[in-house]
Amino acid sequence: MSANGLRRLVLVFFLCLLPVAGPAQDNSSAVEGGGGGLSLLEQGGNQDDILPVEKAFPFSVELVEPDRIVARWDTREGYYLYKDKIAFRLVGGDNRIVNVQLPAGKMKEDPYFGRLAVYPYPVQAYIELDRPAAGDLMLEADYQGCAEKGICYPPQTVEYPVEGAALAGAGGPGGGGGSGVSLWDYTQADFMGVLQGGSPLMIVAIFFGAGLLLAFTQCIYPMFPILSGIIAGDRHRKTGGRAFLLSLVYVESAALPYALLGTLAGLFSSVAPQVYFQSPWILGGFAALFVVLALGMFDVITIQMPSRWQTRVSEASHHQKRGSLKGAAVMGLLSTLIVGACSGPALVAALAFVSTTNDPLMGGLAFFALSQGMGLPLLLLGTGAGKFLPSAGHWMSTVKHVFGVVFLGVAIYFVDRFAPGYITLALWGVLALGVGVFVGAFDHLALEASRFQRLRKTCGMVLVLWGALSLVGASMGGNDVWQPLQRVAERGDGAGLGATAAAPESASGLFRRVAGLQELEAAMNAARQAGRPVLVDVYADWCVYCVKLDEETFSDPAVRQALERFTLLKVDVTAMNEADKALLERYNVYLPPAVMFFGVNGEEREELRVVGFLEPERFLERVRRVSGDGHSA
C-alpha cells in the first residue's frame, strides 16, 4: 500500500471513532470543550485559540426572491470550508430545490484527501426553488470545515428558518415570482450565479457575450475614433482587406492584456492591472500624445522619425509594403490599458469568478473571449471605414482635419478623468469655438454661394454659440457638456445670472472621506455601535462611472433623503497606493465604482452591492431593502 493510501486509511479510522469519542456532547461543545472527535484530529496549535464552529463559520440565509435563497457562510480568517461537503435540503412541505450554484473555490492540497476545492473566505450559495404556494420555509444545510492550524471540525447540519417566505408569492423554478427585477438591475452576485457551474464552452460563450455588451459602454467609445484615425492615416490602404488587417491587428493587440489579466486572475486574487494606468500623470501623458497627433493631422507639426531610422524603415518597406501595422498594435495595447478601464457588473463579476477558479488557462481563455466580444464592433467599423473613407485627393486633407478634431476630443476625454468638470467643459467650449471658426462661422458668403457652403457656415455658427455657452457654464461651475447652462438655471427661478438662490448641494457633502483599511473599519465600527447601517462608496477621480454616480444618483433628492439614516463613507482610491490596493483586495473590489451596503450588525449585504452606474430609481430600491430589513437596519 502506498503512503497516501495508508494516510487515507488512518484518517477513515479516526473519522469512524468520532461518534464514539464524545457521545454526550453536541457539535458545539466538542469544539468549545476541546474534547471528543475534534481533539483526535488536532495536528497542532493551542486549543484555546480555536473558535467554536458556529463562530468560525457564521451561517445565515436570506430570501432574495420568492423562489431564490442566498445561503452565506462568513468564514473567519484562518478557517476554510470544503466545497464537496456542502449540501442543502428543505424541511417539510411540497417545496423542492431545483438548482444550487456555488463558487468554484480554491484548490488546496490536503495531506489525506489530495487536491480539493475549499473556501478560505466568505462564500454564498444561490439556491433556486420550486414553490407551489407561499408558506414557511426551513432550510437544512450540511457543511464541514477546518482551521489552518491543523484542526478539522466534525460534519455539521444546521436548520435555518427563511424569514419572509410566508409572505412572498410563489413562483416556478427560476421564474422570479413576479419580482419585477429588470435585466439591467443585475448585481455582481447575479452574474456570478450565471457563471458558476457552467461548462468551459458555456463560460467562454458568456464571456464573449459580456464583451459584446461592454463594447458599447462609455469607457470603450474612444477606441472607435482611435481605430478610425489609424485607418485614415494609413498610406497603403487601397482595399477593404487592408483596413480589415489593420483592424484585426488593433483588436488582437488590445486582446493580449485581457488574456494576461484573466491568466493572472486565475493565479491570484488581486485588483485589475488597468487601475495602475489611471494616475493623472499617465492619463495626462496620453492626452498630450493625442494633442501632438492632432497637430500632425492639421499639418502644424511634422511627425517623422530620425533620418537613420527612416532609411531602415524604407529598406524594410521595400520587402514588405505594410504601413502602420506596428502602430496599430501599439495603439491597441495602450488603448486596453488606459482607455478600457471600464467597470460594470459583467467585468467585475468576471474577475471575481476567474479568481476563484485557480485555473490560469480558463482565466486566459475567458478573458480572451471577452476581448473578442468587445473587439467585434471595432473590427466591423474598421473594415467599413477602410471601404468608405477616401484614399486620395482633396478629400483626404478634409478627412485628416476631421480626425485631428476627433483626436483633440479624445485628449479632453482623458483630461476629464482627473480634472474638475468645469475645466473639461471649458476645454470642450474652446474646441467648439475653434472648430466653428475654421468651418467658416464668420466667413463672408457670396450671393451665389452653394447650399453646402451655407450649411457649413450654419454649422460653424452653431458650434461657436455652443462653445460660448460652454465657457459661460464653466465659469459658473458647470460640468455637463450637453447642458452647459444648467448651473445658471439652478441659481434662481428664471432670475438668470443675477439670482442668489443656492444650487442643490453636491453629493460630495454627503460623505465622510476615509483613507485606508484601518480608518474605514474604525468608522464602520463606530456606526455599528451607534446602530446605523453603512454605505461605502469606492471612488476614483479617473473613474467615469464614479463621477456619474455622484452627479446623477447621489445628488438625487429622493436618494439623499433615503440615505439620511445611513453612515455614508467614501473611499478615494485615485492614488492607487499600497493602502488602497490592500483595501480593494480586502473587500474583493476589482475596479471602482463599487457601492457596498452594511447592516447595523456590520455584515455586508453582498447581494445588494452596486458595481458600475445605477440610476436613482433602481438605486433607491436597494437602499429601501436595507432600510426595511429588520436584521440589517
Are 240 and 260 in contact by the 8 Å Cβ rule? The answer is no
Highest average pLDDT, of 213-222, 324-333, 623-632, comes from: 324-333
In terms of Cα–Cα distance, which of 118, 142, 124, 144 is closest to 68? 124
Lowest mean pLDDT across 326-340, 469-483, 613-627: 326-340
pLDDT band at 305 (very low <50, low <70, confident <90, very high): very low
Secondary structure letter of residue 335 according to DSSP:
I
Cβ-proximal residues to 431 (8 Å cutoff; 6+ apart), any chain: 405, 408, 409, 412, 467
Q: What CATH topology corresponds to 50-177?
A: Immunoglobulin-like (2.60.40)
Instruction: State how far the alpha carbon of 216 is from the alpha carbons of 340, 408, 509, in Å.
Output: 11, 21, 32
Mapped onto helix, strand or coil, the DSSP state of residue 274 is: helix
CB burial readout 320-358, b (16+ within 10 A) else e: eeebbbeebbebbbbbbbbbbbbbbbbbbbbbbbbbbbb
Report how far residue 242's alpha carbon sits from residue 257's, in angstroms, rounded to the nearest whole number.
24
Query: pLDDT tens digit string along 269-285?
Result: 445 555 555 567 777 88
DSSP reduced 3-state for 515: coil
Least confident of 25-39, 48-62, 313-327, 447-461: 25-39
Identify which of 126, 188, 196 has the alpha carbon closest to the alpha carbon of residue 594: 188
Query: 572: which 3 cell numbers?
Result: 478615494
C-alpha cell recorded at residue 598: 452594511
Half-sphere exposure of 618 (CA within 13 A, CB side): 17
DSSP readout, 171-208? --TTSGGG----GGG--HHHHHHHHTT--HHHHHHHHH
198-218 CB burial, b ≥16 within 10 A, e <16 = eeeeebbebbbebbbebbebe
Read off the pLDDT band of 470 (50, 70, 90). very high
Q: What is the pLDDT of residue 526?
A: 94
Three-class secondary structure of residue 169 per DSSP: coil
How far apart CA 20 and CA 155 sit, in angstroms, is 15
* Three-state secondary structure call for residue 36: helix
The separation between the first and the last C-alpha atoms of the chain, rounded to the nearest angstrom, is 58
Closest CA to 64 of 617, 605, 615: 605
* HSE-CB for 326 with a 13 A CA cutoff: 7
Buried b (16+ CB within 10 A) or exposed e, 570-605: bbbbbebeeebeebbeebbbbbbbbbbbbbbeebbb
- When comparing pLDDT for 387 and 549, which is higher? 549
Backbone angles phi, psi at 509, to 5 degrees: -75, -15
- In this predicted structure, what is the pLDDT of residue 58? 92
Instruction: Enumerate the CATH 3.40.30.10 domain ranges in the chain, comma separated.
Output: 510-627
Phi, psi (rounded to 5 degrees) for 73: -110, 120
Residue 192 has pLDDT above 60, yes or no: no
The strand pair at 567-572 and 512-514 is best described as parallel
In this prediction, residue 277 carries a pLDDT of 55
β-partners of residue 72 are 60, 124
Banded model confidence at residue 59, pLDDT cuts 50, 70, 90 = very high
The Cα 106–Cα 97 span in angstroms is 25
- pLDDT at residue 341 greater than cutoff 80: no
Q: Report, at the CATH architecture level, how domain 510-627 is classified.
A: 3-Layer(aba) Sandwich (3.40)
> According to CATH, where is 2.60.40.1250 located in the chain?
50-177
- Assigned C-alpha cell, 453: 457652403
Nearest to 115 by CA among 105, 125, 123: 105
CA torsion sign for 409, 410, 413, 418 is negative
Tell me the C-alpha distance between 610 and 388, whole Å. 42
pLDDT tens track for 494-550: 444 444 334 445 565 789 999 889 999 999 999 999 999 999 999 987 676 787 888
Cα-flanking dihedrals φ and ψ of residue 189, to 5°?
Answer: -65, -35
Q: Is the pLDDT of residue 560 over 90?
A: yes
Looking at residue 175, what is its pLDDT?
A: 42
Q: pTM here?
A: 0.45
Partners of 504 in the β-ladder: none
Q: How far apart are CA 538 and CA 343, in angstroms?
A: 12
> Residue 489: its pLDDT value, please?
66
Hey, what's the cell of 101? 450554484
Judged by DSSP in three states, 157 sits in strand
CA distance 293 to 296: 5
- Mean pLDDT for the chain? 73
Query: How far is Cα 567 from Cα 600, in angstroms, rounded to an integer?
Result: 10
Rounded to whole angstroms, the Cα distance separating 527 from 534 reads 7
